[in-house]
Chain A
């Protein structure tokens, strides 16, 4: 199953943290920063997969409430788009490439929702971000992958809000991280 979906920017600030196994906030933060360090230090030519080092796996395991089924995360799948890292943490039984595709669909869905999505959209509309994720993943399992249905699902909840007028695009040097045209996705 998928244990967590994380989005953070190049500086390591979290923009989306969604854990499907319950962790304490402090453990979450430690995990996020450790994973960020692991991922950010990888060159662009490296593959999109990173087996989770035992250190992390242990720390997260010990702090989950004991349940009969314990899903130990063991694989990090990530993609890097301009200023943002999209990261999926999962058990070894998920297909890594399918997760990669899932990230791509997620990003495209956000792009569809926000029209040329940029980091600012994600900051100001975190509830939309969560809604979009909820349309795609339920309880750690993929529920929908069809782009239009995801977008439609979020829109029917009517929460796509305006970006505040006083904040221009790329205000603090955040460039948009995707373009409307589906063919030139630069994500790796």
Chain B
């Protein structure tokens, strides 16, 4: 592939006559390269900067000279030196007429300026001029500049022009693709610049025959989808279809095969896009996706020798695995990938191990059961000892995610063991994760206390404040922990331990020291000695905690009051103002004549209010801040179900734990935000708001809905209401034919789309909108061809199943590109009566049932006339309509021969309903009286409504 360079010798350097070499620049670079030491380089650069500054100040430079000096500045900048002048000269270059000068100007703008730079508003007009230019190269330069430095101001001024370049049929592919990504950048900066009306047009570009355009538009759509799922839902079908065409049908332009893999980048993008929607309902789309995924799995089975091909294949494979995990419905594929992943994590290829572990972490985040992963537990634990830190990190994430009550003890043990030798870079995260697991899966008191304290003593400096504070909160809120925790922490404090443990000790002994005062070795004086012994070696914040502990001791253990007072006195001369103040206050309080105040102040701490676990918030901070939303987070299924509620860290993870029960938590109702001693904590504990997007675009109109029906839709609709086949719509460009068949509760509609224009129709798309989704189930059985040639035809089958009585017929949006975007919205003649079968009844039976059903509410009646004086009615017309509404006409039942009596049965999945009709036309007054009774009260009004609409038209009406 790389040998393609031989082709265009016209431009290759051997004969590049059209670019005048800048000798000054070349010799400057050469000088710098010859500079042997950094000081020499600096000297040379300073000399040059002075020179350039002088030249610019003198002015009168021609375009070439300006370009040369800006080039030098650029080079200096690339070497890492700050260039703080010459920006204006650079900006001026972009309005040069010579392309080479313009190009350097744009390069300088993108490198020197940032989106809030004041010079930028000077260039908006030059950029607009280049956007409107007929020369595509200038368009590209302008687009590229916007994509690099475009902010809100530029977005507002230029987004319209960018959009025009994107959709104009006259735009070349290489302009379109850049316009798409420029729009993406502007959208990210300022979502409102993408108009709601653009959605349909942008989606249609995903079908662009040029792979580069399709790729970049897919990127754009992917970003839009994340904020506007509903509005861009048409992209799902497009993506599924495109994926299948690329993967299975090999529909990929020649040059886009990358080492025999058809454009892996677009495959990855499409697979990713599909993960932003819930699994599809339509069996056809599911089938498309399944086929594509299976094909990807199969072709990854062969392991090519070529590194690049292997890479590309795996890139697609891993994204496919992510999609399978996301869909979570394809059992076959799920089984395949868990075995596949098992092999990957043991692979000799480091990249494969790394990605295998990552994919397995995704699996653990979603899977119903962790059993397939647990099978590999020993290999995963082994990955903690991998030579590569990247792999070790992934192993840690996976172990964290695959933890549950059954394996928590083993995994936590293993992590603790590894912690001692772990890299400093990941220790803090490890400590957090161990602490979370310990809290989450603790089933007995001792284990929680033992592990937490051991963790803190081992990790020492890598323990963030959240960790030890959380331990004190948990102990405070769980009575059964208090004695054991107090005993243990005292042992730690007595020995040579880390300062963090002293902090915990200070807090816990102050609160619960009296609970253990009778035990051996835990007498008040021993507790005092232990803490006092630590005073010297600790930081002032720890000393402050110990002083507070001592004032509590004054309340709890009057017998050691003299020693305590002595300590306070000593610290009331401390140089540290915080300590001094505390000591003085505590001293005053302890020496008051009555101990009322002391007792109130030192009362037992109330339980902490339930709050978000600071540990989780802290952990999730690491994953925050990507514009592409992640579809999952590291952590087990719990973490991900919470994600769905958009409140990952807001979920209070109960401080009050039940240690006898294996269920993770009983969510006690959140207490009020009481104030307590550690109140200052709450700011640190503030949760992290994951993905509430403040820039939500206003609710967009659904163009496929009945509110947007195209003119003349009703002609075909009424025609087909009474017939099973015919033309639904036609105009100069398109004819839409429809054939229908109903059997029981199932209806099958086959659409025939014929192109009547002399041009091909591109990106042919249909979108269904079903207002009665609860009772009318739709299933799209196929998609029309994306391109319909002139005089060509394409078809599509859609199934409609009546689950129960429904009222509103569905609508369909048909759009295609013929130069510009053309679109129609039509109402489909899928009405309740289509699911009815005419019934034969004798007169006696009819009257019997008529009486059985009775009057209201299971009866409806209407009296109405013709809508228009010019219309008339005849017996023949009335009979035809009644017949068309699928009534079995029972002759001779009604004594008046002009009256019509009918019976029919409505089929739905939930059951059959019998319906009876009495229609009394009055030819003289041109009026009707219609009465319908049915075994379900929902049916008569719906049938009457449609029949009235139809009958009141009379003949000479629409037909």
Contact = CB atoms under 8 A, between A and B. Distances in A.
Contact of B21 (A13, A61, A96, A161): A161
A25 B766 CA distance: 51
Interface in A95-147: 95-98, 100-102, 104-105, 108, 111-115, 123-124, 126-127, 130-131, 134, 138-147
Interface in A40-89: 42-43, 45-51, 53-54, 57, 61, 65, 67-72, 74
A185 B11 CA distance: 25
A157 B99 contact: yes
A158 to B, nearest CB: 5
Interface string B345-357: 0000011011100
Nearest to A111: B2
Interface string B303-318: 0001110011011001
Nearest to B183: A139
B189 A47 contact: no
Contact of A48 (B351, B625, B626, B627): B351
A101 B311 contact: yes
Interface string B241-262: 0000000000001011010000
Given A98-B315, A148-B255, A138 B623 contact: no
Chain B CB count within 10 A is highest, among A53, A65, A112, A144, for A144
Contacts of B695: 68
B182 interface: yes
B29 interface: yes
A71 B627 contact: yes
B807 interface: no
A67 B627 CA distance: 11
B351 A102 contact: no
Nearest to A76: B390
Contacts of B388: 42, 45-47
Contact of A143 (B74, B100, B215): B215
A129 B168 CA distance: 30
Contact of B318 (A95, A145, A160, A178): A95
A69 B627 contact: yes
B148 A139 contact: yes
Contact of A101 (B11, B13, B315): B315
Nearest to B353: A47
A149 B255 contact: yes
Interface residues of B, number: 102
A147 B147 contact: no
B21 A162 contact: yes
Nearest to A127: B107
A65 B626 CA distance: 15
B181 interface: yes
A159 interface: yes
A5 interface: no
A91 B626 contact: yes
B493 to A, nearest CB: 31
A17 to B, nearest CB: 6
Interface string A138-177: 1111111111110111011111111110110000100000
A61 B621 CA distance: 12
A97 B387 contact: no
Interface in A1-54: 1, 13-17, 20, 22, 25-26, 28-29, 32, 42-43, 45-51, 53-54
Interface string B585-626: 000000000000000000000000000000000000011111
Contacts of B115: 22, 65
A151 B148 contact: no
A160 B353 CA distance: 41
Contact of A162 (B16, B258, B264, B425): B16
Nearest to A149: B212
B564 to A, nearest CB: 42
Contacts of A166: 30
Contacts of B391: 47
B626 A156 contact: no
B97 interface: no
A90 to B, nearest CB: 9
Interface in B338-393: 350-351, 353-355, 387-391, 393
B628 interface: yes
- Interface of B (DSSP majority class): helix
B19 A153 contact: no
B265 A160 contact: no
Contacts, number: 261
A144 B265 CA distance: 9
A125 B118 CA distance: 29
Contacts of A114: 5, 13
A50 B80 CA distance: 24
Contacts of B190: 68
A145 B263 contact: yes
B8 interface: yes
Contacts of A155: 8, 11
A63 to B, nearest CB: 11
Contact of A172 (B14, B33, B355): B33
Contacts of A167: 30
B2 A181 contact: yes
A34 to B, nearest CB: 12
B147 A138 contact: yes
B77 A25 contact: yes
A158 B99 contact: yes
Contact of B184 (A92, A131, A141): A141
Contacts of B78: 14-17, 126
B3 A20 contact: no
Nearest to A120: B33
B2 A101 contact: no
B185 A139 contact: yes
B630 interface: yes
B17 to A, nearest CB: 10
B248 to A, nearest CB: 20
A28 B80 CA distance: 8
A32 B78 CA distance: 12
Contact of B1 (A22, A72, A108): A108
Contacts of B630: 92-93
Contact of A160 (B12, B253, B389): B12
A100 B307 CA distance: 11
Interface of B: 1-6, 8, 11-14, 16, 18-19, 21, 26, 29-30, 33, 71, 74-75, 77-82, 99-100, 103-104, 107, 114-116, 137, 143-144, 147-150, 174, 177-178, 180-182, 184-185, 188-191, 211-212, 215-216, 219, 253, 255-256, 258, 263-265, 268, 272, 306-308, 311-312, 314-315, 318-319, 350-351, 353-355, 387-391, 393, 425, 429, 622-630, 694-695
14 contacts: A1-B188, A54-B622, A67-B189, A72-B626, A95-B272, A97-B315, A127-B107, A130-B107, A139-B148, A143-B180, A149-B212, A149-B255, A159-B103, A182-B3
Given A45-B388, A143-B212, A144-B177, 11 more contacts: A1-B626, A15-B78, A29-B80, A61-B625, A68-B695, A70-B625, A93-B626, A105-B258, A126-B75, A139-B147, A162-B21
In order of increasing CB-CB distance, the 9 nearest A-B pairs are A97-B315, A139-B147, A72-B625, A139-B185, A22-B114, A47-B350, A112-B5, A93-B628, A138-B181
